[in-house]
A and B are shown apart, each in its own frame.
Chain A
Amino acid sequence: MTNLSEKSAVPASMELTFEVEQFLYKEARLLDTEEFHAWLDILTEDIHYWMPYRYQRYRKNHVEPTVNHMAYYNDDMHNLKRRVLRNDTGTCWSEDPATRSSHVISNIEVEHTDNPDEYTVYSLTTVNRNMNEDEEHLMVGHRTDVLRRVDGQLKLAKRKIILDQNIFMNKSLNVFL
């Protein structure tokens, strides 16, 4: 565990917590409604969107994943734009008919950091994905975000997602978590 610096030990105000919650809910809505360009707009240019692989190991063999390991996502802005471009090509057959997804964001905690413009935000994302005729999948991930205030507005600068699933239970991860 990292030592909390003095600043991060100061509890986030209700006002800040409310602002962060609203940001995450809005983000969830943009993803549910497939407004991916608007979603890209609320990310910082130096975004790191990361969901490392997961293996089951004995406790004594624990390994903390790094960005040099395998990952579901290890994206910068360039790669996130590529994913959005795929949906825009008009030939993305597997997304037509469209996937239906609901992001439920909960367990939100906000912490100050040493940088007055950045906050560490913990949350739980629970995504229900329904697609094709009748396929329903549930994905639950623990998110650790860094939100940065840019020109007065919050933006997502970093996201790390740890999925509960050891074997990813579905054929595709076609939604952002």
Chain B
Amino acid sequence: MSNDTDYHQFIDNEEGWVDRRIFWEEEIYERELKQIFAKSWQFIAHDSMIPNANDFYTTYMGEDGVIGARQKDGSVRVFLNSCPHRGNKFCFADEGNARSFICNYHGWSFGIDGKLGALANEHVYDEGDIDKEKWSPKQARVETYKGLIFATFDPEAPSLDEWLGDFRWYLDMMFDNDGETEFIDGGIKSYVNANWKFGVENFIGDAYHALWNHDSGLKAMNNGEGFGPAVTENSYHASVNGHGWEFGTDGYADVVIGGSEKWLNYVRDIIKPKIKDKYGELRSNIFGSLASVSLFPNISFLPGIQTFRVWLPRGPKKLELRVFTIVNKNMPEEIKQEINNACMMTFNPAGVLEMDDGENWEGNTQVNKGFLTRQEKLHYGCGITREIEHEELPGIIYKGQFNDANQRHFYTRWADLMNADSWNDVPTRYTPRHTKTSK
């Protein structure tokens, strides 16, 4: 693909299709690393994962390995995990606590702030051979939203608040419904031989698959009882800047999936009343209903089930899934463990729902090795005429959570960023109600 490729050619929101080549072609993937992952705000860690000074967690932004580290002043720095001398990683742990990192190859050391410090056998360098400030690993911009630490390597990117935009109206239901949140200790990492976008787009709007694909999983968790019929009334897709939340406005479907009565009661008696007090009736009704969420480009979570995950790209045909459980800090320990167990039973590689998802996404991806197969389009036309204005719900709103709307808007945002030479080229495609934009 040349640089003057128009990436909107790969999606059509009038006819409702997506070109399969975006899930397969190496050139498109390389462009994603540059245009999506080198520019977007991405999830690094939850505050609770690195609570103390010198705590660190290693992850990836695109395929760039990074370290997120808590500083002595409580701030977080994020920097490349690659020694500027010959390039080796200088931290090989997933997490821990360290005052410094020392590269195995020649013994160059780096402070917890990421700055180059002492070199082993430093006397072999003459005065003036190296400017340590200049030869320190590249640092990212870091901002947090309600305990979630984000970073971007793009100095020109809009602020995190603007990036999230009116999606914060929805996020607060999850990340500020009763005080601060935290992650349960540990996490599960796994590989799926699928394009990263298939995980994201599933969580962004695909309520539809749950009824069919997860019938066995829900029956396992719910005493043999499956989902009710697909109700298209009083449920919605909401899209803001490529982020998407699909949801109902009543019921407890996403809590029932966890199969814990104690957690169900806690949602009914504690969480929902708190949300009602703080944010009003509508959002109190949304929380716990059949719902799923993704943040552009690669973060997802399920309110009520409480799984939180990132889909790290590993080439166009493989992703690394990192799974966490999110709870409120002030919940009784017993409820936290009910949630953790319910979450693990359903959404990790051994989860009774998750086990079915990976199969689909690998199939979606791997069939495209067929040259003719990947010239065929994929249908994204469900609910294409159902866009509405809603007096309370911000963002681009579609009626009926069984819909491809959030997916279509995710791919529109994807194409906007794939095309953009600068942030001025990236349109704001919704009408903000709660967010000031710089343009």
Q: Which positions in A face B, CB cutoff 8 Å?
A: 51-53, 55-58, 60-61, 65, 68-75, 79, 82-83, 85-87, 89-94, 132, 166-174
Given contacts A51-B350, A57-B93, 18 further A-B contacts (CB under 8 A): A53-B186, A53-B188, A57-B96, A58-B96, A68-B185, A69-B184, A70-B185, A70-B340, A75-B345, A82-B221, A86-B220, A166-B94, A167-B191, A168-B189, A168-B349, A169-B190, A171-B362, A172-B358
Residues of B within 8 A of A65 (CB): 186
Complex contact A86–B216 (CB within 8 A):
yes
The 9 closest A-B pairs by CB, nearest first: A171-B358, A61-B96, A70-B186, A86-B220, A173-B350, A92-B216, A168-B190, A69-B186, A53-B186
Instruction: Looking at the assembled complex, report how far the CB atom of B56 sits from the nearest CB atom of chain A, in whole angstroms.
Output: 10
Complex contact B94–A168 (CB within 8 A):
no
> Dominant SS at the B interface?
mixed
Contact flags (1/0) for B204-231 with A, using CB distance below 8 Å?
0000000001011101110010100000
Complex contact B97–A61 (CB within 8 A):
yes
Q: Could you list 11 A-B pairs, sorted by A, with CB under 8 Å?
A: A61-B96, A68-B333, A70-B188, A83-B352, A91-B219, A91-B226, A92-B356, A167-B191, A168-B191, A170-B190, A174-B355
Complex contact A171–B192 (CB within 8 A):
yes
Contact flags (1/0) for B182-198 with A, using CB distance below 8 Å?
00111111111110000
Residues of A within 8 A of B193 (CB): 171
Cα of A57 to Cα of B55 in the assembled complex, Å? 12
Cα of A61 to Cα of B91 in the assembled complex, Å? 13
Complex contact A68–B340 (CB within 8 A):
yes
Residues of A within 8 A of B350 (CB): 51, 72-73, 172-174
Most chain B beta-carbon neighbours within 10 Å: one of A90, A94, A132, A166: A94
* B162 contacts partner chain A, Cβ-Cβ < 8 Å: no
Residues of B within 8 A of A79 (CB): 341, 345
Nearest residue, chain B, Cβ from A66: B185
Residues of A within 8 A of B324 (CB): 70
Contact flags (1/0) for B223-254 with A, using CB distance below 8 Å?
01010000000000000000000000000000
Q: A83 and B93 in contact (CB under 8 A), knowing A168-B349, A169-B190?
A: no
* B95 contacts partner chain A, Cβ-Cβ < 8 Å: yes
Size bin of chain B's contact surface: 35 or more
Contact flags (1/0) for B330-364 with A, using CB distance below 8 Å?
00010001001100110011101011101101100
Complex contact B216–A56 (CB within 8 A):
no
* B92 contacts partner chain A, Cβ-Cβ < 8 Å: yes
Instruction: Looking at the assembled complex, report how far the CB atom of A174 sits from the nearest CB atom of chain B, in whole angstroms.
Output: 5
Complex contact A83–B220 (CB within 8 A):
yes
Q: A86 and B345 in contact (CB under 8 A), knowing A55-B94, A58-B93, A70-B325?
A: no
Complex contact B190–A171 (CB within 8 A):
yes
